[in-house]
Copies of this chain bind each other. A is one copy, B any other.
């Protein structure tokens, strides 16, 4: 079993997804994530279509969405995802100052999440739905 599927040895269903990724993102090749998921063409297709739908501009702009992606990936400690989505956020316009503030918020949120857990703080009535 080869771990990654390259375009040249990919079945046509995989090539179709790769082509759509390259066209949508205007890149010469897909990154490793997609080459590994290509081992399961159905998973590849569903994941790409979901990511494409979720990450397109809407009520939130692409930069905000990429920074949210980084916030989750940093919280989970996913090294691949931190690297790829930090790169994507920079490409979408994240400056070094923005990155610093993003990290500061993510760090502080992870701290206060645990303070709320440890002090067993009950939800204020004003915050109930």
| Interface residues, chain A, with chain B CB atoms under 8 Å away | 1, 3, 31-33, 36-37, 39-40, 42-43, 46-47, 50-51, 53-55, 58-60, 64-65, 67-87, 95-124, 126-129
Question: What's the dominant secondary structure at chain A's contact region?
Answer: helix
Contact A105 B59, beta carbon cutoff 8 Å: no
**Known A59-B98, A74-B114, A83-B120; 9 more pairs at CB < 8 Å:** A31-B124, A39-B100, A51-B112, A72-B110, A81-B109, A81-B116, A83-B127, A86-B118, A110-B110
Q: Which residue of B lies closest to A118 (CB)?
A: B74
Q: Which residue of B lies closest to A45 (CB)?
A: B53
Chain B residues with CB below 8 A from A96, complex form: 1, 39-40
Please measure, in the bound complex, the distance between the C-alpha atom of A71 and the C-alpha atom of B102, giving whole angstroms: 12
Contact B72 A121, beta carbon cutoff 8 Å: no
Known: A33-B121, A82-B120, A117-B82. Contact between A54 and B105, CB under 8 A? Answer: yes
A-B contact pairs, 25 of them (CB 8 A): A3-B120, A32-B122, A32-B124, A39-B119, A40-B104, A46-B53, A47-B112, A50-B108, A54-B108, A58-B101, A60-B101, A60-B102, A68-B71, A71-B72, A71-B75, A72-B113, A74-B114, A76-B113, A78-B113, A79-B120, A79-B123, A81-B109, A81-B116, A86-B127, A103-B119
